[in-house]
Chains A and B, each alone.
Chain A
Amino acid sequence: MTLAAELPWLWGSLFALALATGAAIWGMLPRYSYDGALTEASSNARFESFVLWSLLLSIVLMTIAMGVRWDRIGHGPFVSLFELLMSQIWSLSIFYIVIYWRAPSLRGTSVIIFPALWVLGSWVLILDPTASFYPATYYNNWKWAHVLFGKVFLGAALFGVGLAGIILLRQTRAAKLFSKMPSSAVLDHIAWRFMMLALIFDSLMLIAGAVWAQDAWGRYWQWDELETSSFLNWLYLGAIIHLRMTYRMPLQVGAWLVIGVFVFAFLTYFGAPYFSPSAHKGVV
């Protein structure tokens, strides 16, 4: 058995992500003296710097892994679940590192975001890296727009999960871990702002996908499994934004609704292709 050339880089990237995850969680834990008094609050700045650099290293290594695979199989990460997961970990990490870098007060979200990334990371480790077949219809340039918009959408949805997760954790005994972060009302506000961003990019993704589908498969919409799931996801996002703008709802309820967007998107991206032989018809 030969080792796929991209695997060492992938493992390196996930190891760096593991370091970032461990440091992010360790950094959030409170420190106590021998007599039990709290000596240091959460969000240790030294750990945050380590987290930032580890995440950057993870992105660089994942970029190399994707480049090596691209060179090996002759096409980008657009077809098999193995390469789609690599690509998603990469783009979600990029989306998040910008926020982590630019918004220090929100770095506590890393204890939610990194484990979520690890769900993808664990999954990719058990998949077969065999070269995938690249359908002729995938050479269409609209694919790039479709994928790019989708990545921004999923990035915004994942960050919403991070914020919503903090709001929910504040209802537990872990609340004090996030005492340095903005209030839950503020987190809620930011989360919904990201839901708006998600709605815009989800819409753009659907439009670009429809143009691609028209060129590639001769119809812009056919209610196949993936399309229907994407549409339901868009409808759900639109509905909860309407709800949020119209009704006062407890922050916890809003948080669960926000988490629902990512869960829905996750099931659409990685679930629908499992039970749909027609997902992105060019593959068949």
Chain B
Amino acid sequence: MPILSAMASLKVTLVGMLLLSVGSMLTYGGDTGVTVWVLIVPMLLLALNLMCAIATSRKINGQPGLLVFHLSLLALVIVIAVGRLAHLDAQIEIVVGQSFDGSHLVDLQQGPWHTGDLSEITFLQGPYSVSYEPGVQRGATASRIGLLDKNSGFEKEIVVGDDTPLIFGDYRLYTSFNKGYAVILEWLPKEGGSYSGSVNMPSFPLNDYRQKNEWTPPGSDTTVKFWLRLDTGYDEEDYWVLSMDNSSGVLVMTVDDLRVELQEGESLQFDDGLLKYKELTMWMGYTIFYDPTLRWLFFISTFGVLGLGWHLWSRADRLLGQNFESDTKGGVN
């Protein structure tokens, strides 16, 4: 099979590696706008080259360690591809006291093979704290999570944050730098009924001076502008903990020319209803990551390196074509 042999050539391997290097350099630093195909094409070429080499080369398929390594490389390419096709990446903001709702995902990206079920994720967001060192250097995040049982309700409380993700099957939720304050509002329309909800303010302390948002109550024509005047003890030059324990805030509402400052529990009467500032709370941002191939990637890559280690170290003399032991005496060569 001349075509198979030609494709299995080491020259093709070296060309593939060179192309992959060039592709990697073109995408150096990420978000360069260069198409991802500069990586995919060389990888496909290398995968094809590898398949042909495994099929035809006795140097590879005749040596178990080397065979394991090259099969692992091939498997890695395939599994990474499957992982990307099945992946899901998203962000979500969850207010303290509220439960996860998959319909609120933002920046959602998912592969066409994503078959995960977001309803697997059931938890209640509890209070959290984030410590900061002088210079606004973010330290430990401790986010308390109430795990919920679908049938019996609350199950147990755990703490996640930083390098401890919240895991539901193949979904992993990571606390992000994105978190801040929220106000819980209640809208009582004139015609009756009530609506309760939260308005999240921009990330804190990143947007310390821009704690603004706006909202239009259900059924109303009035858009209310909010500014949250916070008292958190935040000091850029000192140790500080972001937590509800040391936070309070006055909600400044602006409607047209009217400007009103409300404390928690106070309300403002509009023509078409009453808006109540019930309480100040916080929201936590999570990065959601789904990839069902993670543990396969780990096992395959580790297995491959073990195979390589076994092969290279036990056969190094033969592979390098010399006998080290026979020539340890001095002499310029």
Residue numbers of A with Cβ under 8 A of B are 105, 133, 135-137, 139-140, 170, 175-176, 178-186, 189-190, 192-193, 196-197, 199-200, 203-204, 207, 210-212, 214-220, 222-225, 228, 231-232, 235-236, 238-239, 242-246, 251, 276, 278, 282
Q: Per a CB cutoff under 8 Å, which of A139, A190, A204, A214 touches B294?
A: A214
Q: A137-B162, A175-B332, A207-B302 are in contact. Are A242 and B10 (CB under 8 A)?
A: yes
Q: Kindly state whether residue B156 has any CB partner on chain A within 8 Å.
A: no
Tell me the smallest distance from the CB of B88 to a CB of chain A, in Å.
12
Q: Once the chains bind, are A215 and B163 in contact (CB under 8 Å)?
A: yes
Determine if A223 and B163 form an interchain contact, defined as CB atoms under 8 angstroms apart: no
CB <8 Å contact, B162 and A216: yes
A225 touches B29 (CB 8 A): yes
Please list 17 pairs of residues, one from A and one from B, whose beta carbons are closer than 8 Å in the complex, sorted by A's number: A136-B140, A140-B163, A170-B333, A180-B330, A183-B327, A197-B312, A203-B301, A207-B302, A217-B174, A218-B287, A223-B28, A228-B27, A235-B17, A242-B13, A243-B14, A276-B29, A282-B162
Do B25 and A189 have beta carbons less than 8 Å apart?
no
In Å, the complex CA distance between A111 and B242 comes to 55
- Of the candidates A170, A199, A212, A214, which one forms a contact with B332 in the assembled complex, judged by CB atoms under 8 Å apart? A170
In angstroms, Cα B138 to Cα A238, docked, is 39
Among A139, A186, A196, which residue has its beta carbon within 8 angstroms of that of B162? A139
- B37 at the A interface (CB under 8 A): no
Known: A189-B320, A218-B172. A239 touches B305 (CB 8 A): no
B62 within 8 A of A: no
Give 12 new A-B contacts, CB below 8 A, not counting A189-B320, A228-B28, A228-B29.
A136-B139, A136-B141, A189-B317, A193-B324, A200-B309, A207-B301, A218-B172, A218-B287, A218-B289, A220-B294, A235-B21, A238-B17
Min C-beta distance of A198 to chain B, whole Å: 11
Q: When chains A and B are docked, how far (Å) is the Cα of A192 from the Cα of B319?
A: 10
The residues in B between 8 and 33 inclusive whose CB is less than 8 angstroms from any CB of A are: 10, 13-14, 17-18, 20-21, 24-25, 27-30
Residue contact A136 to B163, C-beta cutoff 8 Å? yes
A178 and B309 within 8 A (CB): no
In the complex the two chains form, what is the Cα distance from A184 to B309 in whole Å?
A: 25
Using CB atoms, name the residue of chain A closest to B18.
Answer: A239
The listed residue (B27, B138, B297, B309) touching A220 by CB distance below 8 A is: B297
Residues of B within 8 A of A186 (CB): 322, 324, 327-328, 333
Secondary structure at the A interface, as helix, strand, loop or mixed, is helix
Decide yes or no: A231 and B24 within 8 Å by CB, A133-B133, A215-B163, A242-B14 being known contacts: yes
Tell me the minimal C-beta distance from A213 to chain B in angstroms. 10
Which A residues lie within 8 Å of B28 (CB)? 223, 225, 228
Looking across the interface, which residue of chain A has its beta carbon closest to that of B330? A180
Contacts of A215 in B (CB 8 A): 163-165
Bound complex: CA A26 to CA B317 (Å): 34
Is residue B135 within 8 Å, beta carbon to beta carbon, of the partner chain?
A: yes
| Cβ A239 vs Cβ B320 within 8 A | no
Bound state CA distance, A139 and B332, in angstroms? Answer: 50
- What residues of chain A lie closer than 8 Å to B113, measured between beta carbons? none
Q: Do the beta carbons of A190 and B21 come within 8 Å of each other?
A: no
Cα(A175)–Cα(B333), bound, Å: 10
Contact with A along B203-238 (1 / 0, CB 8 A): 000000000000000000000000000000000000
Given A179, A189, A203, A214, which contacts B322 in the complex, CB threshold below 8 Å? A189
Known: A214-B294, A223-B30. A245 touches B320 (CB 8 A): yes
Quick check: is B154 within 8 A (CB to CB) of the other chain? Answer: no
B327 touches A185 (CB 8 A): yes
Residues of B within 8 A of A245 (CB): 319-320
B137 CB–A CB distance under 8 Å: yes
B163 CB contacts on chain A under 8 angstroms? 136-137, 139-140, 212, 215-216
Beyond A200-B312, A218-B174, whether A179 also contacts B330 by CB under 8 A is yes
Beta-carbon contact of A239 and B308 below 8 Å: no
Within 8 A of A (CB), among B142-177: 161-165, 172, 174
- List which B233-277 residues lie within 8 A (CB) of chain A: none
Say whether A178 contacts B172, CB under 8 Å. Answer: no
Partner of A182, one of B138, B140, B329: B329
Q: If A183-B333, A236-B21 touch, does A136 touch B27 (CB 8 Å cutoff)?
A: no
Are A133 and B330 CB-contacts (below 8 A) given A199-B308, A218-B172?
Answer: no
Find out whether the CB atom of B330 lies under 8 angstroms from the CB atom of A136.
no
Query: Does B2 count as interface, using CB distance less than 8 angstroms?
Result: no
Nearest residue (CB) in B for A175 is: B332
